[in-house]
Every structure is written in structure tokens, then in C-alpha cells.
Structure 1
Amino acid sequence: MSITDNGPQPNAFDIESATRQNTTYRSVAWTGKYLQVTMMSIPVGSSIGLEVHPETDQFLRLDAGTGVCRMGPSETELTDTEVSDGWSIQVPAGTWHDVVNSGDEPLQLYAIYAPSHHAQGTVHKTAEDSEKDEEAGTDEPPEWTVQPG
């Protein structure tokens, strides 16, 4: 299944099938004025990476695999929860979080950011590609999205 980010136009697609078929670290599926949908595939033993979004709420849903969700008020104060297919994770703005693939198959999930957090249509094949874009400042949400402050 091929998904094209046509945001901010109306959109509909089979998110569960698309998420299960996604093989990239992150693919932006849709960018709206106020929120964004991305799909992620986390390899065995890898994670999304410990991070915090000071002004972005995040919703994640697992569609395949098993993992450990780590969340807390700081990098050193994290609570672990085992998660698997069908689980959802709600991350309030300002919360440190990570999802680690603890299983034996890729961890397939989608994430919804509010407000939008990435460049429209971005595809990061690997976590390293994502980090390079962040360092270069090329993974920024479009100017037409509503951002805090």
C-alpha cells in the first residue's frame, strides 16, 4: 500500500494495513493544520529513541509486535509498561518517552502528533536518517500548520 501525504486535504486510508506494511522507520502519512499522522517500523532490539516534545501531545497505537513503553517526567524517572498489538499510548506534552521493541519481529505502530511535528510527506528509512534531518533542520512542520507560541 502506498500512502501519499495530501495534507491538508481530506484523506482516508486503511491505517492498520498501511502500518503493518510500512517498512520505514518513519513515514508521514498525513499532515493537517492541527495534527499529523506518521507510521513507524522499529527493528528488533531498537526503539523510537528517548525523547520529549515540550509542546506536542502524542498518541501511538501498536498494530504488530511487542515492546516496552517507557514514560516519565525526566530522562531518569521512567516507568516501564509492556505493550503489544492493539495497545495505545498517550504521551502528554513535556513527558519523556520511548518505545523499545522487545520482541522478535518489527514493532509496527502509528503516531498522531498534535500539533504537527515533522515535514509534510517525510520518509525516514532509518532512525539515522531521521537524526540527520533533525540536525540539519530539514524536518520541520509546514508553515501553514498551527504551532504553539
Structure 2
Amino acid sequence: MKGYVQNIEGIAVKNEDFRRVLYTAKNLQLVVMALKPKEEIGMEAHNSDQFFRVEEGTGEAIINGVRTVISKGFAVLIPGGANHNIINTGNVPLKLYTLYAPPNHRDGVVHHTRAEAEADKEHFDGKTTE
């Protein structure tokens, strides 16, 4: 296995897709996301734990009703089962990356827009990158 070794900050900042799965291991998945101004992920809950890191922009993290302002450098950890949302409150794209443990999405999936992501009912199918 080779694993994944890349400049994640640079990749996250350059990303323009709503969601792009970069790497999927058996117990962990790396995804970059870009939220347009005023766009949000949408209130959701996963069985998996989730970590977000903001690389550019400003927004708000909501976890079980608690709202926190977030910006470049912020980390957000969400325990499995928690209702959560990330909202871009700024005027520029909110660029971030997220880790799911265990994986939540199909390896390699790309959703260019939130509408595309919502229309695709995909979920992790057990296939990893390597």
C-alpha cells in the first residue's frame, strides 16, 4: 500500500467541486469540499465520525444546535450520530477538507455541485483506493 501523501492545503484551496473523494482506506476517507458563498452542506448525521479543516473562507459550524463561527485554520470534529451542518457565511468560497472514519462515500466520487450530490444516493460500497 502506498497511502496518500500530498499537500492537502494546496489541493483544498484549488478545489472548486462541492465534494471530491481523494482517498479511501479501510477505516478512513479523505475528501475536499468547496462551498459557494451562502451555500451549506445541509443538516445531516452520519454513523461515522467526521473531521473538517477550514483552509480558506469563513463560515459557521452547527453541531447538535450549537453554532460556532469558523475560518481558516479551524478544525471541527463531529462524533458519529451528531446532527451537523457547515455553512459558508462569507462572500468567497469556503474551502475545506474532511476525514470520515469509517468512510462514508464511494471512492473517487466527484460531485461538482450540491444539487448533484443530493441527487446521487451513493454511499461507501466497501471499495478502497488501493
TM class, shorter-chain normalised?
A: over 0.9
* Structure 1: unaligned runs, 5 residues or longer: 1-7, 73-77
Please point out which of 6, 9, 14 is paired with 1:16: 9
TM-score computed with the length of structure 2 as normaliser:
0.94
Aligned residue number for residue 123 of structure 2: 140
Task: Give the C-alpha shift of residue 144 in structure 1.
Answer: 4.3
Are 1:80 and 2:67 counterparts? yes
CA distance in 1, matches of 2:109, 2:2: 17
**Cα distance in 1 between the residues matched to 2:88 and 2:103:** 25
Percent of residue pairs identical: 34
RMSD value, Cα: 1.2
Aligned with 1:61 (options 53, 58, 61)? 53
Query: Which aligned pairs between 1:1-149 and structure 2 lie closer than 5 A?
Result: 9-53=2-46, 55-72=47-64, 78-134=65-121, 139-144=122-127
The structure with higher relative contact order (CA 8 Å, sep 6+) is: 2
Match for 2:62: what amino acid? R
Radius of gyration: which is bigger? 1
- Count of residue pairs brought into register by the alignment: 128
Aligned equivalent of 1:5: none
TM-score, normalisation: structure 1:
0.83
Structure 1: distance between partners of 2:95 and 2:66: 22
Secondary structure class of the residue paired with 2:120? helix
Q: Secondary structure at the match of 1:140?
A: coil
1:46 aligns to what SS in structure 2? Answer: coil
Unaligned runs of 5+ in 2: none
